[in-house]
Amino acid sequence: MVELKTDTSIDAMYEAGQVVGRALTAVREAADVGASLLELDEVAHQVLREAGAGSPFLGYRPSFAPTPFPAVICASVNDAIVHGIPTGYRLRDGDLVSIDFGAELDGWVGDSAISFIVGEPRVADVRLVETAERALAAGIEAAVVGNRIGDIAHAVGTVCRAAGYGVPDGFGGHGVGRRMHEDPPVPNEGRPGRGLPLRHGMVLAIEPMLIGGGSDGFHAAPDGWTLRTDDGSRAAHIEHTVAITRTGPRILTAR
């Protein structure tokens, strides 16, 4: 069931989204060569504490997970697509990092992700991240009253495929509200004009995931959480929480 949020609720979700934006900005600033993923998790955790917010990630355990998630960020490096568990791994020059983060404030959730390169970037990685950002922008542009879920999915997938990148099947965006994952699912590929109509008050996490080698294949790492590319190529993951409104899409996790 899809819950339509009131304008007041969307304003409250914006406040949660601003906590997310501050945390991701702080993590990006701290992500120097030599910083550990656990240190980045602590940076994000401190932002939550200062805001009086909670983490929808910490302790989360969906049906596929062997254990509850142990951190407040997902930190996915290089060939990791999503759901990376922060460890003592220290960032190296040229690493491609994706950070996914959520905050719960006054009963409402914000959810967003960024991808960036540490130190000296490789040209191929810059192109991959820039394409992910363009795919997200295209998906947000399609998130208007009168369109359908398939229009968002088609917009995202068209950008990804045109650039020659893979798109992991079965993983994409979702509704957001009182919980981190709500209906409806928002695929990263689809047919325009199909799927659930977009209405004022729907709030969606739109999140392109791109595989740099062009293959769609991925597998779960031994930790049971991290998804890695089958071909070892690098991946990018970008996300914003977006409200569908009569005046157009409103980004609730803007940084």
Q: Is the pTM of this model over 0.85?
A: yes
Q: Give Cα separations from 234 to 34, 136, 175 (angstroms).
A: 20, 18, 27
Residues of the chain with pLDDT under 50: none
pLDDT digits over 14-31, tens only?
999 999 999 999 999 999
pLDDT digits over 62-118, tens only?
998 999 999 999 999 999 999 999 999 999 999 999 999 999 999 999 999 999 999
pLDDT of amino acid 64:
87
Q: Which ranges of 97-201 would DSSP assign to H, the alpha helix?
A: 123-141, 149-162
SS3 state of residue 110: strand
pLDDT of amino acid 88:
98
Strand order of the β-sheet with 227-229 is 80-82, 227-229, 218-220
Q: How many other CB atoms are there within 10 angstroms of residue 19's CB atom?
A: 24
Q: To which residue do tokens 């993983």 refer? A: 171
How far is Cα 48 from Cα 226, in angstroms, rounded to an integer? Answer: 23
